[in-house]
Amino acid sequence: MSDIHQCTRAKLPLNLLFTLLLETIRMVFPSRGCITCKQRRIKCDSVHPTCGRCQKASRGCIWDQNEESGLLFKSENAFAQGKPRRPWKPRERDLEPAEVAAISLTSDLVLDSPTSLSPPTEDEAFRFWLENYVFSDDEIPEFAREYSHYVVAYRDKAQPDSSLRLAVSAVSHAVLGHARKADKLIEDAEKLFSQSIIKMRREFHELTQDNIDELLITTMLMALYENIMYGDERHHIQNQGSSLDPDIIGSRFWEKVCHHEGAAGLLKLRQEHGWTPNLVLERAARRQLNQIRTCILRGIPEAPWLEDGAQFGEEGPMLELDSIMIHVASLRQRSLSLFLPKSARFSSQPLPGQIAAEAQDLDAALESWARELPEDWRFSTQPDSTANTTFDELIHTYPSHGHGAIWNRYRAVHIIVNSIRRRALSVMAQCSSQIISTQAEQDICQEKIASLATDLCRSIPFFIASHIIAQDSPLPKRVVKIGSNVIHTNYEILPKLATLLAWPLALAVSTETVPEPQKQYLKIKLKSVANTLGDSALESVADQAEFKF
């Protein structure tokens, strides 16, 4: 009853609170009853090893493994269940030589401190995450910033025992633990994450205009944490006993998106209550959470209340591209029927000709967007014959890494628009009762896809720390310039730069019509990005074609 009174006091809609709270918490705080009673839908007294209900009915009392061990929290990964942790880095015998070369430097990380082998302090873990994963103000323009850019400012204002502080600590320990391959750091991260969940549950019941921003960042950090910690184990568990191939929208990646849904719910809740908007943070969160890029992958339309980027303060080229991508998400959803055999299509589904025409309009809009960009958005192309770095000995240089990221977002979207149009034209020719030749138009689409994929390949060296110094060191240092800052690192791709490459590379390698030379180069770089970020989901995208365009 106290929870209901608190909800009423905060004037929160109960259904939204349950979406934000129960779905987020339930996976970590399971029911304490035995499995037998749960299946019979009766109340369990939770007495171990045999509950009263089962004893009275002479039934076998079956417990979840975590309950038998007396665990307070639900085990979300194989490690928490006592199973061996997944290997820290790819087994080289499973990789091609070029892949090994691309990945080897990203998996050997040390801190500059001579005490790097001693147990790290809280500040060391936070500093490592801050330096490697978070852009400073002068490193990336505002139009390319996402929520992580604002974490530090809110963390500094938060209470020491707040869910935000605990979530930041959990993420910091997780990324440093993966970098050092240190089980103790990972265990500490798991404890901190559980504490953050407990604290966040209380803070949700006290939601006000004053703490909504803090909770928004916390939920986004929790999604990041789960990507780092649980991706591989979750996918492994889901695939056990299943012979199904990955589908065209990567369904198995979207089983647990409650943290992103919770963050989106917080944005909507602010609108419903008429609370003063925080456009800078909301805009940054919208760019990353349950929004356009995710919708394109999932094959679902954007939520109507998130569609208008202008309401969140987007403007200029970003607003124009944002609007086009909203339509691409809708096209992606409508085009899924093209993957079905003719006998499985319904009359209510869009005709291939309609999809082809819509894709042609979007192709023209994207070409116009690129053509009309202001001069300070332009990139240049130079020759560079650096081995193992370039695709065709040509590389791009951009005004900033933020500009390069948006150009690559444009290329990825433009690739899939032409891929959808090409597929629609092919299906249209096959299904027509009349002889229709669409080959010339298909060839034009293919030429555009190849050109865009090549430009995507040429952009990647700009993000790579390709200049090796101190070569006599057992772990050679690299240097990369971000904005006006020169950063020394052991990564091939610094984590914060890797985050800018992840989405466009994932789309490109998932497009069947991208030519094989470009696709293989992009797959190698996507694996390097995945290894840098410790993101097993991205590894799976590179290896198993989790999506199809």
Q: What is the pLDDT of residues 134-186, one digit of tens each?
A: 998 888 898 888 888 889 888 999 998 999 999 999 999 999 988 888 889 99
- What band does 337 get if pLDDT is binned at 50, 70 and 90? confident
In a shared domain, residues 10 and 131: yes
In a shared domain, residues 226 and 270: yes
Q: Between 219 and 45, where is the model more confident?
A: 219
pLDDT at 247: 56
In a shared domain, residues 129 and 196: yes
Note the residue count of the chain.
Answer: 549
Boundary of a domain, candidates 16, 41, 72: 72
Alpha carbons 400 and 459: distance in angstroms, whole number = 12
- What band does 361 get if pLDDT is binned at 50, 70 and 90? very high
In a domain, 103, yes or no: no
In a domain, 105, yes or no: no
The yes-or-no verdict on residue 51 having pLDDT over 90 is: no
Alpha carbons 409 and 291: distance in angstroms, whole number = 14
Give the lowest-confidence range in 36-50, 73-87, 532-546: 73-87
Alpha carbons 524 and 502: distance in angstroms, whole number = 12
In a shared domain, residues 458 and 348: yes
Alpha carbons within 13 angstroms on the beta-carbon side of residue 193 total 32
In a domain, 549, yes or no: no
The yes-or-no verdict on residue 538 having pLDDT over 50 is: yes
Residue 333 phi/psi, 5-degree rounding, is -65, -45
In a domain, 106, yes or no: no
The yes-or-no verdict on residue 191 having pLDDT over 60 is: yes
Distances (CA, A) of 304 to 11, 309, 327, 428, 469: 24, 11, 12, 31, 51
In a shared domain, residues 256 and 147: yes
In a domain, 210, yes or no: yes
What is the maximum alpha-carbon separation in the chain? 80
- What band does 64 get if pLDDT is binned at 50, 70 and 90? low
In a shared domain, residues 187 and 325: no
Rg (CA), the chain: 25
The yes-or-no verdict on residue 20 having pLDDT over 50 is: no
Q: Between 477 and 376, where is the model more confident?
A: 376
In a shared domain, residues 363 and 467: yes
Say if CB 535 and CB 86 are below 8 A apart. no
Say if CB 316 and CB 324 are below 8 A apart. no
The structural domain count of the chain equals 3
CATH assignment of the domain containing 53: 4.10.240.10
Find the mean pLDDT for residues 238-259.
Answer: 48
In a shared domain, residues 13 and 150: yes
Say if CB 400 and CB 141 are below 8 A apart. yes
Strand, coil or helix: 396: strand
Which range of residues forms the domain containing residue 378? 314-542
The yes-or-no verdict on residue 71 having pLDDT over 50 is: no
In a domain, 299, yes or no: no
The closest alpha carbon to 494, from 401, 383, 391, 397, belongs to 401
pLDDT at 457: 96
What is the per-residue pLDDT across 213-245, written as a single tens digit (0 to 9) for each? 898 889 888 888 887 876 544 434 344 433 334
In a shared domain, residues 466 and 419: yes
In a shared domain, residues 382 and 496: yes
In a domain, 303, yes or no: no
Q: Between 427 and 90, where is the model more confident?
A: 427
pLDDT at 437: 80
What is the per-residue pLDDT across 105-142, written as a single tens digit (0 to 9) for each? 333 343 443 334 455 677 889 999 998 999 988 888 98
The yes-or-no verdict on residue 330 having pLDDT over 70 is: yes
In a shared domain, residues 340 and 282: no
Alpha carbons 507 and 488: distance in angstroms, whole number = 30
In a domain, 89, yes or no: no
Alpha carbons 303 and 311: distance in angstroms, whole number = 14
In a shared domain, residues 156 and 65: no
Find the mean pLDDT for residues 29-37.
Answer: 63
32-36, 217-221, 420-424: range with highest mean pLDDT: 420-424
Boundary of a domain, candidates 290, 324, 339: 290
Percentage, residues of the chain above pLDDT 90 = 29
Find the mean pLDDT for residues 46-50.
Answer: 69
* Beta bridge partner(s), residue 383: 394
The yes-or-no verdict on residue 9 having pLDDT over 50 is: no
Residue 381 phi/psi, 5-degree rounding, is -120, 130
What is the per-residue pLDDT across 446-476, written as a single tens digit (0 to 9) for each? 999 999 999 999 999 999 865 555 555 555 5
- Average pLDDT over the chain reads 75
Percentage, residues of the chain above pLDDT 70 = 68
